[in-house]
Amino acid sequence: MAVREVLLLGHPKLYEVCEPVRQDEVESLEPAIQNLHDTLFDFRRKYGVGRAIAAPQIGVMKRLVYMYISSPTVFFNPVLDQQSEEMFTMWDDCMCFPDLVVKVRRHKRCRITFLDRAWQEQTMLLEDDLSELLQHECDHLDGVLAVSRAIDAESFALRSQMAFLE
């Protein structure tokens, strides 16, 4: 498979709502999953960050997220079905705008329900950075970018200025 070009902020596909994955499509999506893996690891090599990538970031308009922390996890049709009232604020980044960070408010805890590669329903309870990560990736599936979640007009900075941010 191959490293794919990550669509950058402003590309119209990033603002589209993705189609659900059907069970009969799972096998045909294996090349896209490998491309997500390769693209994520290429981004890590270049920028030193990156834990997950959503399919629309490489132009695949399906409800599919690929995460690799200590091992790969594929999320088909993920749904955030419980979110805590407690929120936290953080500087978020994105492969679609690699030189920019944006201050956002996210739910501290959430539950995600999804279908795995064997088309079995799975549930994960997430906290803190993993909660934020999957909220960010699920937003991509709905055509929402982190820049749309900015707290205010002063919640943007260049990555190179991170040392000066609180």
Burial of 92 (0-12, 13-18, 19+ CB in 10 A): buried
Hey, what amino acid is at 36?
L
| 137 catalytically annotated | yes
Catalytic residue among 16, 85, 137, 154: 137
Residues 151 and 74: their CA atoms lie apart, in Å, by: 30
Report in angstroms the alpha-carbon separations of 29 from 25, 75, 107: 6, 12, 30
Domains parsed from the chain with CATH numbers: 12-164 (3.90.45.10)
**Rounded to the nearest 5°, which phi and psi values hold at 139?**
-55, -40
At 166 the pLDDT is 60
Tokens for 117?
Answer: 């590669």
What stretches of the chain show up as alpha helix (H) in DSSP?
Answer: 30-47, 128-141
Residues 106 and 156: their CA atoms lie apart, in Å, by: 16
| pLDDT one-digit tens code per residue, 98-120 | 999 999 999 999 999 999 999 99
- Tell me the average pLDDT across 66-89: 95
The verdict on whether residue 140 carries a ligand-binding annotation is yes
For residue 145, pLDDT beyond 80: yes
The verdict on whether residue 18 carries a ligand-binding annotation is no
For residue 165, pLDDT beyond 80: no
Q: What is the pTM assigned to this prediction?
A: 0.94
- Tell me the average pLDDT across 84-104: 95
Question: 3-state DSSP call for residue 2?
Answer: coil
